Amino acid sequence: MALIGVAACSAMAEDRRPLPLPTTSVSGDLACRFVSKESLSIALGTAEYDAQGDRRDAHRKNPDGSTLAAATCEVSTASTKGKRAISISVQPLGLIGEDDAQVAEVLASGRADYVFPAAEGMGFAASDATLHLGAGTCDLIVGDWHYGVTIHDAVEGRKAVDDAVALTRQVVATLNLPKVGTKPRPTASPAK
Alpha carbons 123 and 168: distance in angstroms, whole number:
10
- CA 46 – CA 63 distance, rounded (Å): 40
Tell me: the pLDDT tens digits for 127-170?
Answer: 977 776 779 999 999 999 999 999 998 888 999 999 999 999 99
Q: How far apart are CA 76 and CA 48, in angstroms?
A: 9
* Phi, psi dihedrals of residue 93, rounded to the nearest 5°: -55, 130
| pTM of the predicted model as reported, rounded to 2 decimal places | 0.86
Average pLDDT, consecutive stretches of 10 residues, N- to C-terminus, the chain (192 residues): 42 53 77 94 93 94 95 92 91 89 93 94 89 86 97 91 96 95 80 50
What letter represents residue 163's amino acid? Answer: D
Return the closest-CA partner of residue 94 out of 138, 119, 118, 63: 63
pLDDT for the residue numbered 64: 95
What confidence score (pLDDT) does residue 14 get? 45
The pLDDT value given to residue 119: 95
Give CA–CA dist 96/101, Å, rounded.
9
pLDDT of residue 130: 73
CA atoms within 13 A on the CB side of 98: 0
Task: Could you please state the CATH topology (level 3) that the domain comprising 2-175 is classified under.
Answer: Protein Transport Mog1p; Chain A (3.40.1000)
Q: How far is CA 125 from the centre of its chain?
A: 8
